[in-house]
C-alpha cells in the first residue's frame, strides 16, 4: 500500500524526473533501512550461472543505474545481481528530452534514452559503490555499448575499449547489440556484422584473461524483433565463439497491442507487459535451439511473480526486472526470488 502511494506521487512527475528523484534518494534510504518499509530483506536462494554464484535468480536490468553510483543501495532491495550501465567509451548525453514515456494502462514504458552515461573512465570510479554489494555475495554485471557517433562498422573498437577499461571491475560483461535507441546498433545482429564482432570480443577477452589471470564471463543481449531463424543463427555464433550466456530480450520497436494508447507513437523501445509474450517466446526458442549449451538471462515484461516463473519454464537460468519493478514496486524482487526458488525445488 505504501508503494502504491509513492508511485501515485512519482507518476505525477515526468518519468525522467521521477527516475532522478529515486536515484538521488536511494543511498540514504538504504543506509537508514527506510527501504524496508517497501520491501522485505533479500532472499537467499543461490543459483550458479556462468560459473558465478548468485544469491538469488533475480537481477536488475541495465538502464536503471546508468552511472554505476548506486549498485549497493539497489542491491539492498533484494537483487541477486545488478547490471550497471550501459557504458560507452566516452561520456555522452544521449537523445534530447523528452525521451521517456509511460503507457500506464498497458504497464509499459517507451524509452528513447540513447545510452546517456558517464563514460568508461568515470564508471571505474563510480563502481566503487558496488564493493559492499559484492562483499556480501552480490553479482555485478557491466553492460557496454558503442558510442552514438561511432559508425556501426567501427563498433568493435568501442566494445574493446570498454572491455579494456572495465574488464576487472565486475563479475561479468553484458554486450548490448540490440538497443533500438542507438544509431545503427541493431544492425550488429545481422550475421555478416555479428560474426566479426563476436570473434573480436572473444579475442579481446582472451587477451585480457591472460593479462588479469581471470576469465570474465560474457553475455550478449539480443532484441525481440528478429525472425526466429536469425535468432538461432546468432545463438550458434555465441556458442562457436564461447560466449557464456545470452540475454533475451531488449526492448521492442513493435507497438502491437498498444497502438491506440497516448504516447505509444513516440520513438524508442517499448518495455513492460506488452513485451512479455514475445520476449518469452524468444527465451523458449533459444532454449529449444541451444539445448542447455548456453544459459539464458530472461528480461522483458516481468510484472508479477508468475511472469518470472513463466520465464524459467521457458528455459531461463536468471531473470531481470526493470519496468515491472517500477509498476509493481520493490516487493516484486523478493516475490519473484521466492517464487523461483519454490519452482526450482519442485
**pLDDT for 159-183, tens place per residue?**
999 999 999 999 999 999 999 999 9
286 within 8 A of 296, measured Cβ to Cβ? yes
Rounded to an integer, the average pLDDT of 134-139 is 97
Rounded to an integer, the average pLDDT of 118-136 is 97
β-pairing, 139-144 vs 108-111, is unpaired
Helix (H) or strand (E) segment spanning residue 61: none
Residue 191's pLDDT is 84
C-alpha cell at 3: 508503494
Residue 93's pLDDT is 98
**pLDDT for 73-108, tens place per residue?**
999 999 999 999 999 999 999 999 999 999 999 999
Rounded to an integer, the average pLDDT of 210-231 is 97
Rounded to an integer, the average pLDDT of 262-272 is 97
CATH homologous superfamily of 2-345 equals: Aldolase class I (3.20.20.70)
**pLDDT for 31-66, tens place per residue?**
999 999 999 888 899 999 999 999 999 999 999 999
**pLDDT for 188-214, tens place per residue?**
999 899 999 999 999 999 999 999 999
Q: With the CA atoms of 253, 151, 115 and 194 taken in that order, what torsion angle do they form, in degrees rounded to the nearest 10?
A: 60
List C-alpha distances in Å: 276 to 165, 218, 310: 34, 24, 10
Residue 231's pLDDT is 97
Q: What angle do CA 333, 294, 157 make, to 5 degrees?
A: 90
In this predicted structure, the answer to whether residue 20 has a pLDDT above a threshold of 80 is yes
Residue 42's pLDDT is 85
Among candidates 170, 158, 149, 150, which has minimal Cα distance to 218? 170
| CA–CA gap between residue 220 and residue 235 (Å, rounded) | 10
| CA–CA gap between residue 185 and residue 223 (Å, rounded) | 11
pTM: 0.98
Res. 335 pLDDT band, cuts 50 70 90: very high
Determine the number of helices (DSSP H) and then strands (DSSP E) in the chain. Answer: 12, 13
What percent of the chain shows pLDDT beyond 70? 100
Rounded to an integer, the average pLDDT of 298-305 is 98
DSSP state of 247: E
Res. 132 pLDDT band, cuts 50 70 90: very high
Q: 3 Cβ partners below 8 Å, 6+ apart?
A: 38, 329, 330, 331
Among candidates 74, 49, 57, which has minimal Cα distance to 338? 57
Domains of the chain: which residue ranges?
A: 2-345
Amino acid at each position: 500500500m505504501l508503494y502504491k502511494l509513492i508511485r501515485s506521487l512519482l507518476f505525477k512527475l515526468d518519468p525522467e524526473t521521477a527516475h532522478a528523484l529515486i536515484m538521488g534518494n536511494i543511498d540514504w534510504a538504504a543506509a537508514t533501512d527506510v527501504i524496508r518499509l517497501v520491501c522485505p530483506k533479500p532472499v537467499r536462494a543461490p543459483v550458479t550461472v556462468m560459473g558465478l554464484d548468485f544469491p538469488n535468480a533475480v537481477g536488475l536490468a541495465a538502464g536503471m543505474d546508468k552511472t554505476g553510483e548506486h549498485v549497493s543501495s539497489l542491491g539492498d532491495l533484494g537483487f541477486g545481481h545488478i547490471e550497471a550501465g550501459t557504458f560507452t567509451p566516452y561520456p555522452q548525453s544521449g537523445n534530447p528530452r523528452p525521451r521517456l514515456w509511460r503507457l500506464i494502462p498497458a504497464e509499459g514504458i517507451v524509452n528513447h534514452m540513447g545510452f546517456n552515461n558517464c563514460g568508461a573512465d568515470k564508471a571505474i570510479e563510480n563502481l566503487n559503490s558496488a564493493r559492499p554489494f559484492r562483499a556480501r555475495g552480490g553479482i555485478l554485471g557491466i553492460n557496454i555499448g558503442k558510442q552514438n557517433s561511432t559508425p556501426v562498422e567501427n563498433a568493435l573498437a568501442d566494445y574493446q575499449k570498454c572491455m579494456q577499461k572495465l574488464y576487472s571491475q565486475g563479475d561479468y560483461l553484458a554486450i548490448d547489440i540490440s538497443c533500438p535507441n542507438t544509431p545503427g546498433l541493431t544492425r550488429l545482429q545481422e550475421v555478416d556484422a555479428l560474426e566479426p564482432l563476436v570473434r573480436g570480443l572473444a579475442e579481446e577477452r582472451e587477451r585480457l584473461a591472460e593479462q588479469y589471470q581471470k576469465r570474465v564471463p560474457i553475455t550478449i543481449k539480443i532484441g525481440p524483433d528478429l525472425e526466429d531463424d536469425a535468432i538461432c543463427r546468432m545463438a550458434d555464433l555465441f556458442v562457436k565463439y564461447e560466449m557464456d550466456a545470452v540475454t533475451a530480450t531488449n526492448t521492442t520497436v513493435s507497438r502491437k497491442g498498444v497502438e491506440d494508447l497516448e504516447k505509444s507513437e513516440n520513438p524508442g523501445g517499448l518495455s513492460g507487459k506488452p513485451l512479455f509474450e514475445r520476449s518469452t517466446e524468444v527465451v523458449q526458442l533459444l532454449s529449444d535451439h541451444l539445448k542447455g549449451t548456453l544459459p539464458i538471462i530472461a528480461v522483458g515484461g516481468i510484472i508479477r511473480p508468475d511472469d518470472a516463473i513463466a520465464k524459467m519454464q521457458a528455459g531461463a537460468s536468471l531473470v531481470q526486472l526493470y519496468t515491472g519493478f517500477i509498476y509493481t514496486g520493490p516487493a516484486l524482487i523478493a516475490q519473484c526470488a521466492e517464487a523461483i526458488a519454490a519452482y526450482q525445488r519442485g
